[in-house]
């Protein structure tokens, strides 16, 4: 018996299950893999890999790499690191399709990626975007208290809160200009 026609695939999603959860975990694993590939090249040039952002788009993705150095970061530093990373990525080929590579200093509104960053900038104002809603919210702004184990501590409107590190999609310092 020959069967022909359209094959349909059905996906059942339970109520209360975040369909993006699998995607978020996969992206974190992909970002971790990219860091493993990129970090030795960056460190070999004498810079710190602060972190990366991989932003997939329909036509061209963006791979943003943040580097730092106690002496500061200039355009020449970014260019040197970009060339080194490009060579490594061409050999390893972890990114499918076309992408743009952007190498940058962390800047005044520095992104925070690692637990050490959350401890280092304790006392600073921070904006956190969550992958998974926490207490019904996806965005939190307040004073960074620090990081204990796998929890980021923040003071918001005088109330201390503990946010699970693995629920944070992106965090950055909020630059407060002098008046």
Domain termination residue (choose one: 104, 126, 159): 104
8 lies in a domain?
A: no
Q: What distance in Å separates the CA atoms of residue 13 and residue 9, rounded to the nearest whole number?
A: 13
12 lies in a domain?
A: no
95 lies in a domain?
A: yes
9 lies in a domain?
A: no
Question: What tokens were used for 42?
Answer: 């960056």
Domain limits for position 159: 111-173
Burial of 24 by CB count in 10 Å (0-12 exposed, 13-18 middle, 19+ buried)? middle
User: Is residue 84 domain-shared with residue 150, that is, in the same domain?
Assistant: no
User: Is residue 30 domain-shared with residue 49, that is, in the same domain?
Assistant: yes
7 lies in a domain?
A: no
pTM equals 0.78
Domain termination residue (choose one: 49, 77, 104): 104
Q: What is the pLDDT along the chain (179 residues), one digit of tens a residue?
A: 443 444 333 333 444 444 444 455 577 788 889 999 999 999 999 999 999 998 887 778 899 999 999 999 999 999 999 999 999 999 988 888 888 999 999 999 999 999 999 999 999 999 999 987 878 889 999 999 999 988 999 999 999 999 988 889 999 999 877 44
133 lies in a domain?
A: yes
User: Is residue 64 domain-shared with residue 86, that is, in the same domain?
Assistant: yes
In the chain, how many domains are there? 2
In sequence order, what E strands does the chain have?
Answer: 48-55, 61-68, 99-104, 111-112, 125-134, 137-148, 151-156, 159-164, 168-173
User: Is residue 142 domain-shared with residue 77, that is, in the same domain?
Assistant: no
Kindly report the CATH number assigned to the domain that includes residue 41: 3.30.300.70
169 lies in a domain?
A: yes
Q: Among 70, 68, 51, 52, which residue's Cα sits nearest to residue 105?
A: 68
User: Is residue 147 domain-shared with residue 99, that is, in the same domain?
Assistant: no
User: Is residue 83 domain-shared with residue 121, that is, in the same domain?
Assistant: no
Kindly report the CATH number assigned to the domain that includes residue 162: 2.30.30.100
């Amino acid at each position: 018996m020959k069967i022909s026609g359209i094959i349909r695939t059905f996906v059942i999603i339970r109520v209360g299950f975040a369909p993006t959860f699998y995607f978020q975990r996969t992206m974190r694993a992909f970002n971790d893999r990219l860091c493993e590939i990129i970090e030795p090249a960056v460190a070999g040039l004498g810079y710190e890999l602060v972190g990366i952002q991989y932003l997939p788009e329909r036509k061209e993705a963006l791979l943003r790499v943040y580097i730092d150095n106690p002496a500061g970061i200039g355009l020449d530093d970014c260019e040197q690191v970009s060339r080194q990373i490009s060579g490594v990525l061409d050999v390893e080929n972890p990114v499918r399709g076309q992408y743009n590579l952007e190498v940058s200093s962390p800047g005044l509104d520095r992104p925070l990626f690692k637990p050490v960053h959350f401890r280092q900038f304790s006392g600073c104002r921070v904006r956190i975007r969550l992958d998974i809603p926490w207490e019904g919210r996806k965005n939190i702004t307040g004073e960074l208290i620090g990081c204990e184990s796998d929890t980021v501590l923040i003071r918001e409107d005088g109330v201390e809160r503990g946010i699970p590190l693995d629920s944070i999609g992106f965090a950055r310092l909020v630059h407060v200009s002098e008046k």
